[in-house]
A and B are shown apart, each in its own frame.
Chain A
């Protein structure tokens, strides 16, 4: 593509990401009016406090860390034509195990414990992803259904473990014991919540970006996502690639879970990942941002703005915090339409099939 075309296609992908957001905010405005508030000032609060002061910006970036990773986790599986809907379960499992080990290994020095726990999170994410991955790679079992439904099995299991085996008896609510302070990554600036975990997320993102965009592996994964037969026939060994990408996706989810636990939550509770959950947030980010290289970063930051902003909305206006979930649902809904506008493309003559005549379904008999 030459420069002009690149700009053109970028323009369209930006438009296609922004239109669903605008529609969602438009419908969200109705909800805000129902809450007897002025939508414009409510949205102003939403963005102002999380974007236009230093504290807000660092807060936003702090929340963006895990979102970048879960967004990336889903985006790479989409890229390969796979649906890893199990990000949430993988993230929860990693968060849980890290919470437990962060307490058990509490004596280890910070420089050892923090990286160790991140690795543990990655491993847990991979292990949870193994079953659907192998079933997909070796038996072509529908990975979407399996990963989606296994989330709920994982939630039940973790709930049981948190309520019983690993419950902190001294806590007033259902929770695991708090992780050791050695397990908490240090803050980048003393006064703000942003931790070194954010840097880890960015580094991982850059590495993945280069692998997907420039490497042989990335090329093969793209081909696999576009045309499986073609990929196999040109020697790309799709079975191996499916395994790599599904496990990598699980690893990213696990890392996100570990990071969220260590930098924000410090103990596993039943609402560890929030509503609808960081893994599900990743879906929105992947859909919003997969058009362009830094798309996922921008989308993650955008969504973090909305998320942090929504708590401000709840504090400063009478609009409930839940507006953010509503906006998210609407954005995903309209993003599912994929494209609102399309660049004009010259197509060679394809026979156009005329529309079928309307036929009454229940009118019977032979014609």
Chain B
């Protein structure tokens, strides 16, 4: 039986169509995967099903009944729940308090035969209900623990419990494995199977095809806001899905010339660096690698394995507790960001609007940030407005940034164009080394091509690049050498020219060659 069916579901934001005539159906008790690249429109679709967004046109049917949700509350009342990628839990409350948040049970007292509600929350009763639920779904989690003390996998379970407690029988997961470790992913699969066995229908959004093959029953491929295909998992494979997802293989158009860099001089050297996060855990643990002149080194890995912290160290905003970093033979360990830039290292940060750009400032102000004391625009500590504007116009033209107003705010630009502002600023500083972290995250395909081409152009000029990305295909198509990060360590190195997805994929899951051999 179809539990959810959409008919020509369309969502427009202004002139931009995020979803166009989407037709999908989800069967009772099945696990449905929705796959697509970043920005393909998966989240928009899910937000419509969950009542967070209202469709521009089209219909949603729930068990054959036409529905209109005004809010997530409506969706939950109708049995549709969602587990977001970023958990919405309260760290200082316990597991059971989080599960019953918003639907607390008040203690009752009986006087004679009459029952009265008191103001006191009935914690005993709540704990019992949650424990029953945990038992039913075999969740193996302590209902009395504080959420702040839980692992990420356990937090995800709390989110699921929240939904199950509200009698949800259709669960939507938004990129559920992005933040999980490989072991936790295994456990998450277990959870999904358990839920399925109890009759829950599951929809999960992902861009990792391995997961689709592992756990889903059926799959819908979305590209540029449209459904490309609906398939049963048993009738398809990784490669086929990848082709559908990307359409034309964009990355194939990047012409990458592989060279042998083993004799080139080492310009950047990271030796045994370590650092701790605020919980005192070693999130970067004894990492060493080097980059040679003219080489692109890629760092692959499932997100949350220490890549962000590694980039923060390299960018000078996180200090190391141990180890050293050398650039052109000079020790630059724990240098501040401004000194790193003076040493001709440029940065494309992971979080565009947090570290890369200032949304509230103008395009031209952002174009000079970090290089605002370069002699071509400033003298004696004062910045020339005229030269700043001229530089900005030059860069906008050179890097093809589409702006409506030259002096507009960054927030008026699309993601791709905003990213181009960073690229223009950093590349034009004539760096010897570029640290590019997730350079194409959330940008459109045109911009991806442009950014990839820019990176390769830079390499042509003999510059070196460190590329950190969770998009394996990006790493594979650009890197001369691929390092894989897992649990804060570099666990393997593969040459880019002859790397295979499988090989890197295994490393990303923490399986090294020796284990692979012993296992089989």
Contacts and interface: CB of A to CB of B under 8 A. Distances in A.
Direct touch of chains A and B (CB < 8 A): yes
Interface of A: 1-2, 5, 210, 214-217, 219-220, 222-223, 226-227, 229-237, 345-357, 359, 364-367
Nearest to B360: A226
Contact of A349 (B14, B74, B338, B356): B14
B341 A219 contact: no
Contacts of B338: 235-237
B13 A230 contact: no
B276 interface: no
A333 to B, nearest CB: 25
A350 B44 CA distance: 11
Most chain B CB inside 10 Å of its own CB: which residue of A210, A348, A350, A365: A348
30 contacts: A5-B405, A210-B382, A214-B385, A215-B383, A216-B381, A219-B372, A220-B372, A223-B369, A226-B358, A226-B361, A227-B354, A230-B354, A230-B369, A233-B337, A234-B355, A235-B338, A235-B339, A236-B338, A347-B411, A348-B14, A349-B12, A349-B14, A351-B52, A352-B53, A353-B53, A357-B74, A365-B105, A366-B105, A366-B165, A367-B77
Given A214-B383, A219-B383, A351-B52, A235 B370 contact: yes
B70 A367 contact: no
Contact of A233 (B15, B349, B411): B349
A232 B337 contact: yes
B147 interface: no
Nearest to B349: A233
A222 B383 CA distance: 14
B94 interface: no
B71 A354 contact: yes
B7 interface: no
Nearest to B338: A235
Contacts of B457: none
Contact of A229 (B73, B354, B362, B381): B354
B44 A216 contact: no
A74 B358 CA distance: 23
B379 to A, nearest CB: 10
A229 B105 contact: no
Contacts of A346: 404, 412
A359 B411 CA distance: 34
A118 to B, nearest CB: 25
B477 to A, nearest CB: 27
Interface in B351-405: 351, 354-362, 365, 369-370, 372-373, 378, 381-383, 385, 404-405
Contacts of B169: none
Interface of B: 12-16, 18, 44, 47, 51-54, 70-71, 73-74, 77, 102-106, 117, 165-166, 315-317, 336-341, 347, 349, 351, 354-362, 365, 369-370, 372-373, 378, 381-383, 385, 404-405, 407, 411-412, 414
Q: A interface, by DSSP: helix, strand, loop or mixed?
A: loop
B341 A216 contact: no
Nearest to A348: B414
B361 A223 contact: yes
Contact of B104 (A348, A350, A355, A364): A364
A356 B13 contact: no
Nearest to B384: A214
A233 B383 contact: no
B73 A356 contact: yes
A205 B382 CA distance: 17
Nearest to B51: A354
Contact of A364 (B16, B106, B405): B106
A357 B71 contact: yes
B336 A235 contact: yes
A359 B102 CA distance: 9
A348 B412 contact: yes
A216 B382 contact: yes
B107 to A, nearest CB: 10
A1 B361 contact: no
A345 B14 CA distance: 14
A5 B347 CA distance: 33
A357 B357 CA distance: 36
A230 B411 CA distance: 14
Contacts of B16: 348-349
A196 B378 CA distance: 34
A351 B347 CA distance: 30
Contacts of B316: 235
A215 B53 contact: no
Contacts of B411: 347
A357 B73 contact: yes
Contacts of A348: 13-14, 16, 412, 414
A103 to B, nearest CB: 40
A175 to B, nearest CB: 45
A190 B352 CA distance: 61
Nearest to B415: A348
Most chain A CB inside 10 Å of its own CB: which residue of B13, B44, B362: B13
A234 B105 CA distance: 50
Contact of A216 (B336, B349, B351, B373): B373
Nearest to B340: A235
Contact of A230 (B355, B362, B382): B355
A108 B189 CA distance: 85
A91 B354 CA distance: 37
Contacts of B103: 365-367
A293 to B, nearest CB: 13
B382 A214 contact: yes
Given A230-B369, A351-B13, A354-B71, A364 B404 contact: no
A364 B15 CA distance: 44
Nearest to A235: B338
B167 to A, nearest CB: 8
A112 B427 CA distance: 54
Contacts of B372: 216, 219-220
A55 to B, nearest CB: 40
B312 to A, nearest CB: 9
B318 to A, nearest CB: 11
Contacts of A232: 317, 337, 355
B361 A222 contact: yes
Contact of A1 (B317, B339, B382, B407): B407
B359 A233 contact: no
Given A350-B13, A351-B52, A367-B77, A216 B361 contact: no
A17 to B, nearest CB: 20
A107 B383 CA distance: 45
A351 B370 contact: no
B373 A2 contact: no
A350 B411 CA distance: 11
Given A1-B407, A234-B369, A237-B338, A364 B13 contact: no
Contacts of B102: 359
A223 B381 contact: no
Contacts of B70: 354, 357
Contact of B358 (A210, A227, A355): A227
A232 B341 CA distance: 13
A352 B12 CA distance: 11
A350 B54 CA distance: 13
B106 A223 contact: no
The 9 closest A-B pairs by CB, nearest first: A349-B13, A235-B338, A234-B370, A233-B355, A235-B337, A364-B106, A349-B14, A226-B360, A1-B407
